[in-house]
Amino acid sequence: MKYIKGYDSLRAVSIILVLSSHLGLYALLPQYDYIQERIWPIISGTTGVQIFFTLSGFLITKILIAEKGKYNSIDFKNFYIRRFLRLLPPLVIFYVAILFLMNAHQIASTKIGFLYSIFYLYNFVPKTYYTSELGHTWSLALEEQFYIIWPILIHFIQKKKMLLRIITLMIILCFVSYYVLDYFKMNDNYYMMRFFIPAVAPILIGSYFSILLQSNLEKWKNFFHENKKIFIYSILLFIFPLYGFAFLLKFAFIFQSIGIGLFLSWIFFNQESRTTTVLNKPILNFIGKISYGIYVYQGLFLTTGPSGELWIQQFPQNILLTVGIAILSYFLLEQPILKMKKHFVRSK
């Protein structure tokens, strides 16, 4: 199954949540505790990133497991070349623009923070060196850190059960790390919830579901066909903040990611369902396809909230520029370069 219907639409939902959050949706909501603490975690930009993380973990792990099954190894060189061909083109344009504006003193300039970003370390950047235009690159950093480690583990660990145990252990560490980091007051100087642990949990969960399903596709296909309530369970987990115990709300992103993983699995085995058909709309598919470019460029135009002072960062030109440049980038830059990926796919 090369193209999975519904997944591009989920990318679209993910980026729409990010954009609405950075456009200032939170400030428009009624200032009631229930709305801020229970409803916002369902519609926030952070939740949009969690959707993308879980989906990314699911799909990349699917590719790696398939390659390992076919060749009994992972071609690291080709894997990383394909990743860079996918990720670097929009980032190069973005970083050139950021560097120009920093040197022109149009946006806050911090060379150390810039280096954190280009070396995929922005999820560990101290608040002192934080620039809002670069804020979103923390998620790109986290993903790349994971995909440096993950192919190596899949390559050398033969048993899928062992991979599942490693993921389970790391998710437990994500729970524990919150208390450890909080104890050492790491949030005073860092955005501790963006550290590799615990922020990697959604990617791990997506990877877990991917490995589990591919361990016995026929078995799980029957399971997801016969258990129609799985769809409902996935929604209930996603809306966990609405009813979860208050002391568990800090871990809502983990429960929500499990719900997303279940939903991804359900769609995977129910490609002809009414839900998948509703999701698989051309406009959503298109937004999903250009979502990476939108995510990268919106950092410049939307920052991480309606706080930019430049003309290009004011509404409505900020959103028009974000989408417009993402479309141009997709057709003129990303698509031509992505065609090169076929030269870095294993054929023997």
Alpha-carbon torsion, ordered 35, 314, 285, 82, to 10 deg: -110
- Distance between CA atoms of residues 182 and 93, nearest Å: 37
Confidence category of residue 346, pLDDT binned at 50, 70, 90 = confident
Share of the chain above pLDDT 90, in %: 91
- Distance between CA atoms of residues 60 and 47, nearest Å: 20
- Distance between CA atoms of residues 109 and 91, nearest Å: 18
Confidence category of residue 188, pLDDT binned at 50, 70, 90 = very high
pLDDT at 348: 62
**What predicted TM-score, i.e. pTM, was given to this entire model?**
0.96
Q: Omega before 316 cis (within 30°)?
A: yes
Q: What's the one-letter identity of residue 177?
A: S
In tens, the pLDDT along 154-177 reads: 999 999 999 999 999 999 999 999
3-state class of 321 per DSSP? helix
3-state class of 101 per DSSP? helix
In tens, the pLDDT along 311-344 reads: 999 999 999 999 999 999 999 999 999 999 888 8
pLDDT at 56: 97
Answer whether residue 2 shows pLDDT above 80: no
Bin 78: left if φ > 0, else alpha if -120 < ψ < 50, else beta. alpha
Averaged pLDDT for residues 43-65? 97
Number of residues that this document lists for the chain: 348
3-state class of 31 per DSSP? coil
Q: What's the one-letter identity of residue 117?
A: S
**Tokens 């057709």 label which residue?**
331
For residues 299 and 97, the answer to whether their CB atoms sit within 8 Å is no
Answer whether residue 112 shows pLDDT above 70: yes
- Distance between CA atoms of residues 312 and 185, nearest Å: 37
Confidence category of residue 1, pLDDT binned at 50, 70, 90 = low
Angle at 123 between CA 122 and CA 128, to 5 degrees: 65
pLDDT at 227: 85
Answer whether residue 143 shows pLDDT above 70: yes
In tens, the pLDDT along 253-270 reads: 999 999 999 999 999 999
